[in-house]
Amino acid sequence: MICNPLESLDLDCSARDIEDYFERLEIWRLTRSKPNEENKSAFFLNAACKNAYTLIKNLAHPSPPVSVSYDDLKSLLLQHVMPTNFEASERADFHSMVRSPNQGIREFILDFGDLLDMQLKDRLIAGINKTVLQNELLKLSNSTFKDVRAYCDNIRTFAPLLHPCRPPLNLQPCLIHSGLNPRKLILQADVSHRLHNLTHTM
């Protein structure tokens, strides 16, 4: 029986692609004239490219890879490529996700599950360009997106009431006359007395 050759295993792919490769190898083996459980590892090692074989050999050390069972080789390789930090992996999936054209917004948001609130909170805090406020928000323990948003809203609401006479913090140009350069323009900001209170950062 003639069968199409299986391409080499590419290590520059995702863990999911490698799992798929193992499934396709099983199918490829079934197309062989005499499938044999004993030479299953040999079929796999023969199909793997040089880089994949070197990695498998290192993972199987001290045993020669051909003497290791196919199931053990499969487990060794999958354990090597699977992420161990599943929470970080899930966050990466969240950030790389793109809504498909036929997927509704509501369905897209609901697919995030419990990660949505945490990600919204993280994005809100990361997007704040006032370091003092950002540090205060990071100190909040067990906070949710709703808590962080309410905290920001309260700061924005009460800051003008606490100091109605003070103008907002900004940089204003002024001329400084010096003997060397009488037309020198510098930026002046009265920062020292404003940064002592968090409310001045809004």
Which tens digits make up the pLDDT trace of 41-100? 877 877 777 778 888 888 988 888 878 888 998 888 888 877 555 555 566 566 666 667
In a domain, 134, yes or no: yes
For residue 48, what are the domain limits? 15-81
In angstroms, rounded to a whole number, what is the distance separating the alpha carbons of residues 10 and 158? 59
Report whether 65 contacts 73 (CB < 8 A).
yes
Instruction: Note the pLDDT of residue 169.
Output: 43
Query: Which amino acid makes up residue 77?
Result: L
In angstroms, rounded to a whole number, what is the distance separating the alpha carbons of residues 119 and 112? 9
H or E stretch covering 30: helix 15-30
Q: At what angle do helices 70-81 and 50-60 cross, to 10 degrees?
A: 100
Instruction: Note the pLDDT of residue 99.
Output: 66
In a domain, 31, yes or no: yes
Please count the structural domains in the chain. 2
Q: How confident is the model at residue 16 (pLDDT cuts 50, 70, 90)?
A: confident
Name the CA dihedral angle for 126, 132, 133, 138, rounded to a multiple of 10 degrees: 60
- pLDDT, tens digit (0-9, with 9 covering 90-100), for 117-173: 887 888 788 877 777 788 788 788 888 888 888 888 888 766 665 555 555 444 333
Q: How many beta carbons lie within 10 A of that of residue 1, not counting itself?
A: 6
Structure tokens given for 59: 């993972």
Is residue 44 domain-shared with residue 120, that is, in the same domain?
Answer: no
- Residue 13's nearest CA partner among 88, 97, 81 is 81
CA angle 139, 145, 150 (to 5 degrees): 80
In a domain, 88, yes or no: no
Is residue 71 domain-shared with residue 141, that is, in the same domain?
Answer: no
Is residue 75 domain-shared with residue 31, that is, in the same domain?
Answer: yes
Is residue 119 domain-shared with residue 188, that is, in the same domain?
Answer: yes
Report whether 70 contacts 41 (CB < 8 A).
yes
Report whether 152 contacts 172 (CB < 8 A).
no
In angstroms, rounded to a whole number, what is the distance separating the alpha carbons of residues 53 and 44? 9
